[in-house]
Structure 1
C-alpha cells in the first residue's frame, strides 16, 4: 500500500563512520568533483587515483563491480564509475562519477527500501554523457618547459612499431602508438627521476631514460621494453643485438 512509516533517528555508536554522515545533494556533487580531480589541500591527484584503482584484479571476463580504496567501482554501458551507495533506515543515497566523461550524479530518497538510487544515479550519468558530450579542455601551453625533457619527446620505436612520447604537466610523460592500436600509458615523475605508469598497459611499470657514458640518451627502458630512436637502432641497447648488415631485401 502507499503508506508511510516514520523511522527513528539512531545513534550508531562505533558504526557511525559507516553511515552516520549527513549531507546534501549539492555537497555530494562537490565531493564527486574531488573524487574525479583531487584537491592538494586534502589529497593529491595521485592519491585520489588510488581511490579509483581496483584493490584486487578484476575477475576474468566481463566485470561489473569492485572496490578501490574506500570507493565502489562499477561498469555500466562501457563506462567505469566510481563512488558509493549508502543507506540508513529512512534514507537511501547513491553517488557515481565517470572521470572520463567528466560527469557525476547524485540521487537521494527518503525511503528505507524500494528505489535503487544507485541505479538511478548511474543512469543519470549515462543520460548526460550520451546527450551532452564533454567539451574538450582548451589547449594551453605549459607554463615552463624543461629542455632536457623536451629533447625526449617525439617518435620512439619498439622494434619497428612507432610510438610518440609527449611532455605533460608536472614533468609527466605520455606514451602512445602513432598508428593503429597499441599499448600506451601516462606516467608521473618519481623522486629518483624515473616515471611510473598511471594507467593503460604500463600501469605501475617504471620508465627510465638510459644514457651512454658521455651522457647522451641511448634508449628508454619501460619495464624491460626497449624503445630506441630508430627501428632496431644499432646504436641502441637492443636485446639480442642488431644484425650488422642492417635492413635489406630478400637475397637472390
Structure 2
C-alpha cells in the first residue's frame, strides 16, 4: 500500500516499495513502514504486513527509541539560544547534586562526558521506570567510565541528565516542555510519550523459528528523555525537514547547522560516522546523512536527511531485531536522490547591492594563494580559493561593517576591511591574515614587509 502527495516517477515509487518490502520480508518483522519527504512535504509512504488486521501507513504509531534524544537535544539548544545556559557550563551550575557535575552540557549532548552507556541493572528498557526514581538510581555507583571530553562514548544516562536539566531550568516536566516547544509548533500531532491508536505492538521474533513473542512496553520514568517517544512516519518526516531547514518557532537554521557539526572525533576505526549535538552523522553513498536511529524491545526506527539533496527518509518496524532500520532509511534517501536529483532553484539577481561591497569582489591574495570574494544573499560574502582545495568560508554581515565566518576554517572569525587614510581599501584582515589585491604588493601592510628587489628569476 502506497500513497503519493507529490509526483514521483512510477519507477522511483516501485523501487521504494521494493526496498521496504524486501526489508520487511528478509528482516522478518511483523510490520514495517517507510516514508520519504522533500522540500518539507512527504512524497511517498509505504507499509507492509499488518497492524491489528490492517496495513500500516504513515499515521501508524511506532516506538522510536533513541530518536527521542534528538528531541531532547532541541529542548536544550533552545535554552542555550535563550541565554539560560551555555554549552560550556558544568552540569552542576544548573542541576546540582548529581555527583557528575563537572561534565559540561555540550559534552552530554555529544556523548563525550565519559558517562556509562546504561544504568545499573535491572535492564532499564524492559523494566518500569519506577525502579529508578532518583538520578542516583540511573547513574549508579560508577557513573564515569572515561575522562570527560576525551572520547565519544554513547550514553543513555547522559540524556537522562539532560532531560532533568530541561526540567530544572524550565521549571516544568520534560514532557510538558516537549509538547509546548516542539510538538505543537511543528504540528507533530501523532508524537507522544504514550501510544495512541492506531499503533503497532512490539514483538520479538524467534531467531530460529517463524513465531513471535510480545514485548513489554514500559514507561521509562526518568530515562524517558533518552528513548520514550512514540511517533509516526508522517510526523518524523516533518521533524526531519525541520532538522535540515530549521523553524523560527523552535530553532534557527544556524543552530541546526551547529547541531549537525561533529562534536568530537569518531571512535577509532569509525571514519564514516560521528555525532553532533543530539544527532548522528554518517557517510553513505557519497553523501552526508543527519538524523538518528532508535530501538527499544519490540521496535526499530531510523531517520535520515540529506541536506544537500533535500531528501529525508523514515523507517519504522515492530521487531526487537531484524531489518536495520537506519540502513533501509539510507537506501530510501539514495533511491530518490539518485533517480530524481534535486532541481536547483532558478538563478535570480539580487534586488540590489551596495556599490562599496561590489568593489570588494574579485581576486584577493593571501601571500601567493589566490582567493575570490563574492557577494551572496543577505549582504553576506563568500571567500574561496581559486585553485585547488583551501580554506573556503561563508561570512554573514554584522552591523559594524565586519563579517563573521559561518563555516569552514574561518568559522567564528572576523573579516574586516582595512582602509587607508584617504578611505581607499588597503587590504582585508581575516583573523590577522592579510589579503591584498596583488601578491606581496609593495607598499601594502604585509607583515614582515616586501623585499625591495621585487620578484626575480633564478
Contact 2:297 2:319 in 1 (8 A): yes
Could you tell me how far 1:247 is from its partner in structure 2? 3.3
Q: Which residue of 1 aligns with 2:223?
A: 15
Q: Which residue of 2 aligns with 1:95?
A: 303
Distance 1:185 1:240, change over 3 A: same
d(CA) in 2 for partners of 1:60, 1:117: 24
Contact 1:164 1:175 in 2 (8 A): yes
Contact 1:153 1:166 in 2 (8 A): yes
Could you tell me how far 1:61 is from its partner in structure 2? 7.7
Q: TM-score, normalising length from structure 2? A: 0.50
Task: State the structure with bigger RCO (CA 8 A, min sep 6), 1 or 2.
Answer: 2
The number of equivalent residue pairs is: 250
d(CA) in 1 for partners of 2:244, 2:265: 21
Distance 1:92 1:62, change over 3 A: closer
5+ residue gaps, structure 1? none
Contact 2:391 2:409 in 1 (8 A): yes
1:223 to 415, 431, 434: 431
Distance 1:132 1:236, change over 3 A: farther
Distance 1:144 1:58, change over 3 A: farther
Describe the superposition over 1:51-74 as per-residue Cα deviations: whole angstroms up to 9, x where unpaired.
101112456887122211111111
d(CA) in 2 for partners of 1:194, 1:165: 14
Counting helix residues as a fraction of each chain, which structure ranks higher? 2
Distance 1:165 1:115, change over 3 A: same
Q: What is the root-mean-square deviation in Å for CA atoms of aligned residues?
A: 2.3
Q: Which residue of 2 aligns with 1:151?
A: 359
5+ residue gaps, structure 2? 1-208
Contact 1:157 1:228 in 2 (8 A): yes
Who wins on radius of gyration, i.e. which is larger? 2
d(CA) in 1 for partners of 2:393, 2:370: 14
Contact 1:156 1:163 in 2 (8 A): yes
d(CA) in 2 for partners of 1:208, 1:93: 47
Q: Which residue of 1 aligns with 2:46?
A: none
Could you tell me how far 1:248 is from its partner in structure 2? 4.5
2:282 to 69, 74, 78: 74
- Indicate whether 1:187 and 2:356 are aligned: no
1:164 to 357, 362, 372: 372
Q: Which residue of 2 aligns with 1:26?
A: 234
Counting strand residues as a fraction of each chain, which structure ranks higher? 1
Q: Which residue of 1 aligns with 2:386?
A: 178
Contact 1:218 1:235 in 2 (8 A): no
Q: Which residue of 2 aligns with 1:211?
A: 419
d(CA) in 1 for partners of 2:266, 2:214: 41
Contact 2:266 2:275 in 1 (8 A): no
Describe the superposition over 1:159-180 as per-residue Cα deviations: whole angstroms up to 9, x where unpaired.
2332111111222211112233
28-37 or 118-127: bigger deviation: 118-127
d(CA) in 2 for partners of 1:58, 1:206: 29
